[in-house]
Amino acid sequence: MKDITECRERLHGIFNITVTPFTAEGAFDLDGLARSVERVIGLGFDGILIGGTYGEFPAMSSEERADLFRFVMGVVADRVPVMLCSAGSDARVVRDLTRLAGDLGGLPMVTPPFVSEVTDEQIVAFFREMAPLSRTGILVYNAPGIGITLSPPLLERLAEIPGVAGLKQGDLTPTAIDQIANRLHGRLRLFCASDLAFLGPMMAGFDGISSTNSCALPELILAAYRAIERGDAATARDLHRLWYPFRALARRHGQPQTAKAAMNLRGFDGGFVRPPLLDLGRDETAEVAEVVRALSGDGRSGIRLAA
């Protein structure tokens, strides 16, 4: 993507939050990552997100994150738009990664700085500083998991900043979704941050979703999204219900861990997690295997297990 205008035009649909496969020793498995990127592009996903919270960026150095950006952008070669997570608590790191992401033709995804007692005015000032650094604009990520939840009125203020191209909304409470969908639609591209509960935001008028669990269940989650995209809410609902047992495990054991375990069971390149996360143990992996086998036995899921 060359500028913010092109970025906004392409910023819609289902984006795969690509997990970062690590070796048992903690190194990047770049070959496995390249295969994962090719898989989701080949299946027809509208874009990918690299180095996000479920891509385990907090466990990486800033140099590793920059290397990850360069590698993936080389693999993608602008076939689909790419969100590149430049979030962090150190504004200097965020500044450097945001500039790099835009220079590479990706869309930097920026959270508020996750430091204690940061005020709304400081958050606005932070985004005002970051937005002009990227020629493609920035994506504001409202991520309650970092300990800061941006209110709808604050998000409206951020929408006024030149260079803010979109919002990835992690606070999925109905009142927040209702306010954002009706106050910000058309001003920003709106993305639901979670595939665990995306039907409501999409029905409210959001432009797309980002999905971690589609690394493990790409056929099923893609089919559910395409159904709601074409207005077939009943099919989308039924397909979404189909993988509830997997969502329950992901909530219990952690999303990147559960997604990686399922990927490995399917012969995909999930790899290992990095500390402080821990890979699923034998019993937890057996639970995941049972759920995936059950899904593969239901013709509606489109899931096939490796022989």
pLDDT, the chain, mean: 96
Token pair of 156, please? 């409206």
Q: At what angle do helices 62-76 and 91-103 cross, to 10 degrees?
A: 20
CA distance 225 to 209: 9
Structural domain contains residue 254: no
pLDDT more than 90, % of the chain: 96
| Residue 90 and residue 58 in contact, taking contact as beta carbons nearer than 8 Å | no
Nearest to 86 by CA among 130, 124, 116: 130
Spatial neighbors of 92 by CB under 8 A, at least 6 apart, are none
| Domain ranges, residue 214 | 4-232
List of residues 6+ apart from 17 with CB closer than 8 A: 48, 49, 52, 54, 55, 210, 211, 212, 214, 215
Q: How far is CA 102 from CA 63, 134, 158, 163, 274, in A?
A: 16, 4, 19, 11, 27
Helix (H) or strand (E) holding 149: none
At 4-33, the pLDDT tens digits run: 999 999 999 999 999 999 999 999 999 999
199: domain CATH number is 3.20.20.70
Report the relative pairing of strands 107-110 and 13-18 from DSSP bridges.
unpaired
Domains identified in the chain, total number: 1
What local confidence, expressed as pLDDT, does residue 307 receive? Answer: 63
Exposed e or buried b per residue across 106-143, where buried means at least 16 C-beta atoms within 10 angstroms of its C-beta? bbbbbbbbeeeeeeeeebbebbeebbebbbbbbbbbbb
115-164 pLDDT, tens digit per residue, is: 888 999 999 999 999 999 999 999 999 999 888 999 999 999 999 999 99
Tell me the Ramachandran region of residue 254: left when phi exceeds 0, alpha when psi lies from -120 to 50, beta otherwise: left
Classify residue 154: in a domain, yes or no: yes
Q: What's the CA gap between 38 and 41, in Å, rounded?
A: 5
Report, in angstroms and rounded to the nearest whole number, the Rg of the chain calculated over CA atoms. Answer: 18
d(CA 133, CA 55): 23
198: three-class secondary structure by DSSP: coil
Residue 244 in domain: no
3-state secondary structure of 294: helix
Residue in the block written with tokens 């604050």: 154
Tokens of 232: 């077939």
> What's the DSSP call for residue 136?
T
Return d(Cα 261, Cα 20) in angstroms, integer: 13
In this predicted model, which residue has the larger pLDDT, 307 or 152? 152
Alpha-carbon span 167 to 184, nearest angstrom: 9
Q: Is residue 131 part of a domain?
A: yes
Average pLDDT over residues 191-203: 94
Question: Which DSSP state fits 212?
Answer: S
pLDDT tens track for 94-112: 999 999 999 999 999 999 9
- Asked if residue 265 belongs to a domain, the reply is no
pLDDT above 70: percentage of residues in the chain = 100
For residue 110, tell me if it sits in a domain.
yes
Compute the average pLDDT of residues 253-259: 96
